[in-house]
Amino acid sequence: MEERCDLSTRHCVPCEGGVPALSVEAAQQLAGKLDGWVLVDAKIEKTFRFRNHHETMAFVNAVAWISHREDHHPELTVGYADCRVRYWTHAIGGLSENDFICAAKIDRLFSL
C-alpha cells in the first residue's frame, strides 16, 4: 500500500514529447502498484462500477478535476453505471509515469 500512496502523492511533469515511452517492463512494474489497472495496447485502463448514473457522473466530474489539476487527461467511456478510464501519454505515443500517477490518484479518490 505504501507504494500506491507514493504514486498518488506525486504530481505530473509536463511532457511535450522528445522522451521515450516507458518500456513494457517498466510499465508492468508500475501497473503492479495500482489496483486493477490493466495494460492494453501500450495504455492502462480500468472500469469503475457504480450504483446509478448520478454516482457515475459525480465520479466523472472528480476525474475531470484531477485531470485539470495534473494537466494530464484520460479517455473516458461513460455508461449508465460505469466508467472506463484509459491513460496514455499522447505526446510520446505510449505510457509515461504521469499515466500511473493519475491512475493512482483516481484509485485513491475511488477508495474514499
Q: Give me the pLDDT at residue 3, please.
A: 44
Is residue 4 very low, low, confident or very high in pLDDT (cuts 50, 70, 90)? very low
Query: Which residues on adjacent β-strands are paired with residue 38?
Result: 45
Q: Helix (H, G, I), strand (E, B), or coil: what is residue 6?
A: helix
Measured CA to CA, the distance from residue 75 to residue 77 in angstroms comes to 7
Indicate the helix (H) or strand (E) that contains 99: helix 97-110
- CATH class of segment(s) 2-9+23-110: alpha beta
Residue-wise pLDDT tens digits, 67-96 = 999 999 999 999 999 999 999 998 899 999
The per-residue pLDDT of the chain, averaged, comes to: 88
